[in-house]
Structure 1
Amino acid sequence: MWFVYVCDEGEKELGRQQAPGSCPYCGGKVEAMDVEIQWRCCFLPMCFKIKRKFFCTLCSKRLELYY
């Protein structure tokens, strides 16, 4: 008997917009990107999440927000 455990995580970009502030590394502009993350197990959708990711347009570094 064989068990195949196939999990996949797909990302889809929903939109981009300019965020306030500047990059702490190079001083470039910061962009916010809304991403829909879908987890699938055996090709069945299990979970949907929408997250906002920040990154620099000049050096392309991913920026994280700490409160």
Structure 2
Amino acid sequence: MKKKWFMNVFYEGEKEIGKQQALGSCPQCGGKVEAMDVEIQWKFCFLPMCFYIKRKYCCTLCARHLELYY
């Protein structure tokens, strides 16, 4: 019962801000890579607590999520 209450109190939502083509190609299939800017927002009892913007990369052909290693 406590886990269900915990899930209803805290909420993490994602909203896509924009898309653009990224440099390089997918290592799996060789398709084009797309960069998406995503706004992630944390809510506590429907009140926004904080948000941050993150860039995610994925392939347009195989829809694989890619990670950038430095």
TM-score for both structures, normalised by structure 2: 0.88
RMSD: 0.8
Q: Runs in 1 of length 4+ with deviation above 6 angstroms? A: none
Are positions 1:54 and 2:57 aligned together? yes
Residue correspondences, number: 64
Q: What residue in structure 2 maps to residue 15 of structure 1?
A: 18
Match of 1:41 in 2: 44
Q: What is the percent sequence identity of the aligned residues?
A: 75
Which runs of 5 or more structure 1 residues have no equivalent in the other structure? none
2:17 maps to amino acid: L
Give the unaligned 5+ runs of structure 2: none
CA–CA distance in structure 2, aligned partners of residues 48 and 37 of structure 1: 5
